[in-house]
Amino acid sequence: MKKLLTSILSIMLAVLVAFGMTACGGGDDSTDADGNTIVKIMFHVNKTSTEGQAYLKRINAFNAAYKDEKIKAQGIFKARTAGASGYETELLNNQIEGTLADIITFDAPNTAAYAKSGLLYEISSLIPTSEQEKFFSLNKYDGKLFGLPIQESSAGFFYNKKMFAQVGINVSGYTAENPWTFEQFKNVCAQLKNAGKTAVDMRIDATKDETAPYLLYPFIYAAGGSFTDSTGYTATGYYNSASTERGFQFIKDLITEGYTSYEIGATDFFTGKVGMYLSSGWTIPDLDNKYKDFFANRDDWGLLPYPKDVAAASATGSWSYAITNNHHSNKEPIVKLLNWMTSAESSKAITDATGMIPARRDVQNDYAPGSPEYTLLKQLELSGRERPVTVAYPTFSTTFNQVITGLHSYSVATLLSTATNTLQLEMNRLQNLA
């Protein structure tokens, strides 16, 4: 019996030791057998996707260019199969395991939280100011630079030109340089409604993820409102201000006046049932290729900018690159890869694959004036406003969605009061976090 017990104990101890050894393992994996310095970069897309292939090509080009310097980039592709939070879970697991890639891609609104938590490495001094100025936007927190955007985005109102012509609406004067006003927007909606059409799909039903906050926050800035102070730790007095309330009231008015509704189907605009559709640049390929029965070519649809009230404001922000605070102390080869991936050449190659707007001003493009791409780019340049930079961004996004859904049943003031309290409580907790 003693023999058997000793065996059991030995097996258990062996399991414990093996478990411990596996977990404590690791060490420096930044060089390969050939003496190349390995720089790992983690992407949020599938390797086989168009975007993934574009990244891969740029990595291969980097490896060819830096062969003599013995720097080798390795791409890790973790598709967001379970949404953005699934990708974040992967990132955090890597952080715990000590296997964090040297460069990661991340969604721009996470900048503040990631930077504050120490996940990201500050790159203010590593990227020259002259280079920084070439980007439309930067991933900054507390005045310090933590990331560079992969590409940019902007949104606007796609509209059915045939329907507008039938109703007798002329919107040719509304451009990114000369945006229409809230009142003019409502007038167009009224004309469409009076003609028996559903005027606009404001995407107010897209409140289960980031879609509604991304597409609708510019209305609040356009009305002169805001969400937080510049530190990102105060919501009271901003999120529930009179101007912010006016911005949300504009959206509520569109619902109560019957210009938009929560019931509009996902394909109603594409099948000619709705006059306008609020969306980002990713809708352009769909309209170009998928709905030929309703939109044979670009003569059948157009893109209008966001309307303005006291100011012009439009949506911006996409995914970015950042260097992580992992155990690799030599950041020089990592910065070289970052510069490569954010160069004008890479920016062009990646946006050509994704259909998004290049993150850099110096990327050559041949957008014809008046084209949807031109409108988005001009709008980005002239009125692009980023989403609030706050460590409590997930709570902001959640409360924003709650307000948009709540417009169905409650007053804007009531909704904003609750949302502000919730966001402020979270900000206080995060501020107290060491």
Q: What is the DSSP letter of 43?
A: E
Contact in structure between 278 and 202 (CB atoms under 8 Å): yes
Q: Which residues does residue 198 pair with via DSSP β-bridges, in sequence order?
A: 274
CA–CA separation, 208 and 161 (whole Å)? 30
Instruction: Check binding of 394 to other proteins (CB under 8 A).
Output: yes
Tell me which stretch binds other proteins (CB under 8 A): 176-184, 220-228, 351-359, 402-410.
Answer: 402-410
Minimum distance from residue 384 beta carbon to other proteins (Å): 26
Cβ proximity of 203 and 155 under 8 Å = no
To which H or E segment does residue 387 belong?
Answer: none
Interacting positions 97-116 with other proteins (CB under 8 A): 113-114, 116
- Shorter beta-carbon distance to other proteins: residue 95 or 181: 95
CB of 370 to other proteins, least distance (A): 35
The correct pick among 111, 226, 260, 422 for binding other proteins (CB under 8 A) is 422
The residues pairing with 147 across neighbouring beta strands, listed in sequence order, are 139
Angle at 261 between CA 258 and CA 262, to 5 degrees: 160
Calculate ∠ Cα 227-232-237, nearest 5°. 45
Amino acid in position 81: T
Q: Which is nearer to other proteins, 116 or 360 (CB)?
A: 116
> Considering only residues 26, 237, 265, 285, which one is a binding residue for other proteins as defined by CB under 8 A?
265
Taking the complex as a whole, how short is the minimal distance between the CB of residue 237 and other proteins, in angstroms? Answer: 17
Considering only 79, 169, 243, 262, the residue that binds other proteins (CB under 8 A) is 262
Q: Which is nearer to other proteins, 296 or 413 (CB)?
A: 413
According to CB under 8 A, which one of 49, 95, 132, 181 is a site residue for other proteins?
A: 95
Least Cα distance to 190 among 269, 265, 257, 247 occurs for 257
Region from 2-10, 161-169, 217-225, 365-373 binding other proteins, contact rule CB under 8 A: 2-10
Contact pick of 48, 85, 230, 271 for other proteins (by CB under 8 A): 85
Look at residues 291, 207, 290 and name the one whose alpha carbon lies nearest to residue 251: 207
Q: Which of 14, 48, 70, 118 contacts other proteins by CB under 8 A?
A: 118
Build a one-symbol-per-residue string for 55-84: x at contacts with other proteins by CB under 8 A, - elsewhere.
Answer: ------------------------------
Q: What whole-number distance in Å separates Cα of residue 259 and Cα of residue 161? A: 18
Q: Which is nearer to other proteins, 60 or 256 (CB)?
A: 256
Write the interaction track for other proteins spanning residues 3-22; mark x where CB under 8 A is met and - where it is not.
-xx--xx--x---x--xx--
421 binds other proteins (CB under 8 A): yes
List binders of other proteins among 184-223 (CB under 8 A): 207-208
Residue 141 CA to residue 123 CA, distance in Å, equals 11
Query: Distance (Å, rounded) from C-alpha 156 to C-alpha 180?
Result: 12
175 near other proteins (CB under 8 A): no
Number of other residues whose CB lies within 10 A of the CB of residue 35: 8
Nearer to other proteins, 233 or 262 (CB): 262
CB 242 within 8 A of CB 300: no
Tell me how far, at minimum, the Cβ of 181 lies from other proteins, in Å: 29
Residue pointed to by tokens 């030929």: 292
* Tokens 């060490």 found at: 27
CA dist., res. 110 & res. 385, Å (int) = 16
Q: Which amino acid is at 377?
A: L
Q: Which stretch binds other proteins (CB under 8 A): 143-151, 156-164, 356-364, 417-425?
A: 417-425
Window contacting other proteins (CB under 8 A); options: 92-100, 121-129, 181-189, 215-223: 92-100
**Among residues 375 and 397, whose Cβ is nearest to other proteins?**
397
CA distance 113 to 321: 15
Q: Does 398 bind other proteins (CB under 8 A)?
A: yes
Beta strands 314-315 and 384-385 are parallel
Q: How many residues does the chain have?
A: 434
The footprint of other proteins (CB under 8 A) covers 1, 4-5, 8-9, 12, 16, 19-20, 23-24, 85, 89, 92, 95-96, 113-114, 116-119, 207-208, 261-265, 394-395, 398, 401-402, 405-406, 408-409, 418, 421-422, 425-426, 429, 433-434
